[in-house]
């Protein structure tokens, strides 16, 4: 089968997500997250929920670690007198590492089959989104975590966002799921090609309807996208203005789309095609 531009699209997305995470480029991450509602109906075999679970468990564990540390500091003399301070200090150090036991993660993802669970785990580890301490072929006693070089910035950012953190992580998890697939879904192609053509200019709703028809996608998917996107927090809304006839897309989304095209074409050229 001939390799096309679209074959390199998901891998380019993965590279850009990791670059944005490592560089703490939150504006670019918001641009990436803006795409998530355009793809929400696509079956991603539980991968987006899997990523979100790891992220949210990491955030929850670090919040617990902060509370544990405050208690330890406030009652340091008491725990020293009890002879438990050193043990509690070691426990705090482990909590701050943000590592999740494989068995704990598996229990949280009980809706996934064993084969799908393991496939997701392997896929995310091989693409660099997670790390583990497993020995070859052995999972049961291992730990899973988000690599600090990529995730520390957005984790710290999310710890300050309160209830919004789940919205951010869910949107990013959806895009990581797409980056880990071997194909670009049609709904992403529609938005991508539209942004490439129009940039910061208004896009008519009729143009988008025609695009959805061109790619063989029911127009109701466009209506669902617009409706769901309007319910997101402002920072990761794909559509910043819509008067019923024309709409404007998020500027950070447009910026990311340009980088996405450049990275995809670069990968395509490197293959010597």
- Please choose, from the candidates 215, 195, 198, the residue with its C-alpha nearest in 3D space to the C-alpha of residue 260: 195
User: What pLDDT is stored for residue 1 in this prediction?
Assistant: 47
Residue 36 sits at the vertex; the CA angle it makes with 257 and 20, to the nearest 5 degrees, is: 55
User: What pLDDT is stored for residue 92 in this prediction?
Assistant: 92
User: What pLDDT is stored for residue 164 in this prediction?
Assistant: 60
User: What pLDDT is stored for residue 40 in this prediction?
Assistant: 59
Determine the Cα–Cα distance for residues 189 and 100; give it in Å rounded to an integer. Answer: 35
CA distances from 123 to 34, 66, 129, 235 (A): 23, 31, 9, 29
Determine the Cα–Cα distance for residues 89 and 68; give it in Å rounded to an integer. Answer: 10
- Please choose, from the candidates 258, 245, 237, the residue with its C-alpha nearest in 3D space to the C-alpha of residue 203: 245
Contact 50, 111 (CB under 8 A): no
- Please choose, from the candidates 161, 154, 155, 156, the residue with its C-alpha nearest in 3D space to the C-alpha of residue 23: 154
Residue 108 sits at the vertex; the CA angle it makes with 36 and 116, to the nearest 5 degrees, is: 65
3-state class (DSSP) for residue 263: helix
User: What pLDDT is stored for residue 262 in this prediction?
Assistant: 94
| pLDDT in 10s for each residue of the chain, 273 residues | 456 788 888 899 999 999 999 999 989 999 999 998 766 545 556 778 888 888 888 988 899 999 999 999 999 999 999 999 999 999 999 889 988 888 888 888 777 788 888 888 888 888 889 999 887 667 778 889 999 999 988 888 888 776 566 677 888 888 888 888 777 778 888 999 999 999 999 999 999 999 999 999 999 999 999 998 998 888 899 999 999 999 999 999 999 999 999 999 998 888 765
């Amino acid at each position: 089968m001939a390799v096309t531009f679209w074959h390199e699209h998901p891998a380019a997305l993965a590279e850009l997500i990791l670059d944005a995470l490592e560089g703490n480029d939150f504006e670019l991450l918001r641009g990436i997250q803006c795409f998530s509602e355009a793809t929400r109906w696509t079956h991603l075999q539980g991968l987006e929920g899997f990523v979100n679970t790891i992220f949210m468990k990491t955030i929850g564990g670090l919040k617990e670690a902060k509370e544990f540390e405050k208690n330890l500091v406030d009652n340091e003399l008491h725990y020293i007198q009890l002879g438990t301070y050193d043990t509690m200090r070691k426990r705090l150090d482990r909590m701050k590492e943000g590592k999740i036991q494989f068995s704990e993660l598996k229990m949280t993802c009980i809706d996934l089959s064993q084969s799908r669970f393991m496939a997701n785990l392997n896929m995310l580890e091989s693409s660099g989104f997670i790390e583990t301490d497993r020995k070859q072929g052995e999972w049961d006693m291992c730990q899973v975590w988000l690599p600090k070089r990529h995730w520390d910035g957005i984790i710290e950012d999310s710890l300050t966002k309160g209830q919004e953190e789940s919205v951010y992580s869910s949107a990013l998890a959806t895009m990581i799921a797409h980056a880990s697939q071997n194909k670009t879904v049609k709904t992403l192609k529609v938005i991508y090609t539209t942004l490439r053509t129009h940039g910061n200019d208004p896009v008519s709703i009729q143009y988008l309807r025609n695009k959805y028809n061109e790619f063989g996608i029911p127009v109701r998917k466009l209506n669902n996208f617009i409706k769901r996107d309007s319910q997101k927090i402002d920072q990761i809304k794909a559509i910043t203005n819509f008067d019923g006839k024309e709409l404007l897309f998020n500027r950070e989304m447009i910026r990311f789309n340009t980088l996405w095209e450049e990275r995809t074409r670069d990968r395509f050229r490197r293959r010597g095609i």
